């Protein structure tokens, strides 16, 4: 008699939001978030005192009150959430070094609310799709769709991610022998609806909707995407882990470099700083849970190597260079 396939999900594939609450009580968790936001608040005050003008927020971020204060609090919240995830999944916290101890986060986390929100939401979408690909749980695809919709309100490039995920979903489902893959509407409709609504409001308020391709063409965009990957060895290392252990997850994990290429091609204002933060955060949220001692040591070593690479060859942008020169005299 044939036996039904096992529905037991290996421990490294499981995902449960409740188990990621560290500290367990809400009060200490909020204190931790505020404490992580304070250094960015100090950086924002220093830059303002020196006369630096933060780049204007775009999309949904432009409508949110709070300015620099909200930027710093959002950064603290994102870092605390990442820390909770790594602690709950028994991943060494040292792999956060190339995210936390680099000038790129010091700038974006204190000055660029649009970048912080976009990076966090796109990383959450990639994590959701990878969870669907690895564990076969449809709620991962639903999380990805909702996160992409929110990201589209900050940056229309989220549409590219939605299209890529929707195209990859049938392949992933076939690999898992699922009879019915998640509907493309789960991944695309929320994003398209959000982007269309925002474009309509923008047109009604400003009288135009601007879409312009980069005059330097796809070669320049491809070069920018390759440089972004070269800046983030940790992202490459986690991709290798998935290629060996769960190849189907690569269908979602490899979307961000394509998203960076598309963003550069359509001239959405993506910078090397934003691309670096995006790929690093995606790598952190996609690290498998409970890695072996050997895998943990490998990822920790790669993370330290990326930190050293970033210090000697930092990602940069015009606004980032202006911040360094005005606020810190570099």
The Cα 268–Cα 264 span in angstroms is 6
What pTM does this model have? 0.85
The Cα 235–Cα 1 span in angstroms is 45
Portion of the chain with pLDDT greater than 70, in percent: 82
Asked whether 157 and 270 are in contact (CB, 8 A), the reply is yes
258-286: pLDDT as tens digits: 888 888 887 766 788 999 999 999 999 88
What would the DSSP string read from start to end of 186-252?
A: HHHHHHHHHHHHHHHHHHHHHS-------TTHHHHHHHHHHHHHHT-HHHHHHHHHHHHH-GGGHHH
286 is written with which tokens? Answer: 């996609």
Residue that wins the pLDDT comparison between 4 and 71: 71
C-alpha closest to that of 121 among 94, 95, 155: 155
Tell me: pLDDT of 5 over 60. Answer: no
For residue 68, give every residue at least 6 positions away whose Cβ sits within 8 Å of its Cβ, in sequence order, or none. Answer: 41, 44, 48, 54, 110, 111
**Chain-centre distance for alpha carbon 216:** 26
203-217: pLDDT as tens digits: 776 666 565 555 567
């Amino acid at each position: 008699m044939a036996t039904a396939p096992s529905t037991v999900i290996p421990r490294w594939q499981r995902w449960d939001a409740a188990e990621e609450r560290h500290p367990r009580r809400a009060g200490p968790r909020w204190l931790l978030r505020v404490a992580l936001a304070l250094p960015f608040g100090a950086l924002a005050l220093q830059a303002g005192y020196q006369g630096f003008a933060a780049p204007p927020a775009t999309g949904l971020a432009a409508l949110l009150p709070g300015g620099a204060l909200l930027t710093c609090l959002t950064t603290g919240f994102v870092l605390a959430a990442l820390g909770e995830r790594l602690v709950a999944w028994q991943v060494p916290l040292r792999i956060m070094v190339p995210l936390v101890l680099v000038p790129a986060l010091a700038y974006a986390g204190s000055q660029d609310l649009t970048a912080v929100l976009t990076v966090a939401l796109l990383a959450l979408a990639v994590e959701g799709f990878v969870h669907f690909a690895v564990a076969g749980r449809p709620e991962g695809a639903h999380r990805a769709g909702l996160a992409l919709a929110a990201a589209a309100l900050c940056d229309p490039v989220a549409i590219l991610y939605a299209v890529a995920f929707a195209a990859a979903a049938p392949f992933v489902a076939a690999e898992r022998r699922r009879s019915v893959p998640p509907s493309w509407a789960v991944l695309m409709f929320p994003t398209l609806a959000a982007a269309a609504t925002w474009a309509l409001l923008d047109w009604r308020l400003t009288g135009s909707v601007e879409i312009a391709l980069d005059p330097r063409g796809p070669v320049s965009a491809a070069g920018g995407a390759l440089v972004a990957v070269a800046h983030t060895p940790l992202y490459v290392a986690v991709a290798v882990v998935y290629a060996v252990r769960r190849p189907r997850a690569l269908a979602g994990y490899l979307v961000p470099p394509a998203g960076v290429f598309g963003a550069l091609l359509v001239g959405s204002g993506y910078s090397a700083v934003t691309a670096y933060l995006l790929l690093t955060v995606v790598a952190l949220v996609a690290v498998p849970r409970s890695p072996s001692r050997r895998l943990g040591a490998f990822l920790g070593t790669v993370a330290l190597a990326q930190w050293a690479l970033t210090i000697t060859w930092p990602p940069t942008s015009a606004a980032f260079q202006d911040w360094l020169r005005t606020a810190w005299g570099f």
